[in-house]
Amino acid sequence: MTASPAQPEDGPAGAPAADPGDVAAAKAAARKQAQAARKAAFDARGAAASMDASLRFLGALDPPKGSTVSVFLSIGSELDTQPLLAALWARGCRVALPCVTAPRTPLIFRLYQEGDALVEESFGTRAPAPEAEAVDPDILVVPLLAFDRAGYRLGYGGGFYDRTLEGLRARKSVLAVGIAFAAQELESVPREATDQPLDWIVTDQQAFRP
């Protein structure tokens, strides 16, 4: 199932487009709120929540052996993806990590095996070395600060995943899955026409399709 497309620039039912400055301000305020909620959830039950989310991901998506799944390496108070990585390898899935090549450009994905050397990137993330094989994933596990029931996510402001998903969806069938603490849910995420929706959202409490 493909999630609903982003709202057109004119907004719903022909309404005037939201002012970009207003959207940016709304996103900045929502990020501050979401960071606090995520930190509180991480402190309360980080390890248990990570295991729960991993099990819900596997139950909902059921990725087959040989499928390619991109998973981010968690930093800070993000929900820990290590349990999910271990489970995917145990299933025989090919795991890839996202790699930043330059600002304002789509991500690329390189295969990653447990124990492979990683290189530091400019945003505090780590990625496989450039000689690792580049692939197009079948499933993308996407980081986020907040999400809503319509399937929209609040990212970190770089637009990397929006650009990446736009390009991937133009050339193949792919599932984008946001993974987060349930506490990161907002009633409505401020969004722009370029924001790409998610196909699934998985939390420590449930997995659902928008």
pLDDT at 6: 32
Contacts of 54 (CB under 8 A, 6+ apart): 81, 83, 84, 87
pLDDT at 123: 75
- Interatomic CA distance for residues 155 and 140, integer angstroms: 14
Q: Tell me what the mean pLDDT of segment 161-171 comes to.
A: 96
Q: Looking at the 3D structure of the chain, how many domains does it have?
A: 1
Strand blocks (E) in 38-145: 68-70, 94-99, 108-111, 118-120, 126-128, 134-135, 139-142
**Does the structure show a pLDDT above 60 at 110?**
yes
Residue 37 lies in a domain: yes
Residue 21 lies in a domain: yes
Query: 3-state DSSP call for residue 205?
Result: coil
- Amino acid at site 84: L
Q: What is the CATH number of the domain that holds 100?
A: 3.40.50.10420
Q: Closest Cα partner for 38 from 204, 209, 153, 180?
A: 180
Residue 53 lies in a domain: yes
Residue 1 lies in a domain: no
Residues 109, 137 contacting (CB under 8 angstroms): yes
Residue 182 lies in a domain: yes
Residue 9 lies in a domain: no
**Does the structure show a pLDDT above 50 at 115?**
yes
Residue 5 lies in a domain: no
Report long-range pairs for 161-169 (Cβ below 8 Å, ≥24 apart): 161/107, 161/196, 162/194, 162/195, 162/196, 163/104, 163/105, 163/106, 163/107, 164/98, 164/106, 164/107, 164/140, 165/140, 165/196, 166/106, 166/194, 166/196, 167/106, 168/136, 168/137, 168/140, 169/196
Which pLDDT tens digit goes with each residue over 38-92? 999 999 999 999 999 999 999 999 999 999 999 999 999 999 999 999 999 999 9
Query: 3-state DSSP call for residue 182?
Result: helix
Check residues 53 and 9 and name the one with the higher pLDDT. 53
Check residues 192 and 71 and name the one with the higher pLDDT. 71
Domain residues for 115? Answer: 17-208
Residue 4 lies in a domain: no
Q: Tell me what the mean pLDDT of segment 123-144 comes to.
A: 94
Beta bridge partners of residue 95, listed in sequence order: 69
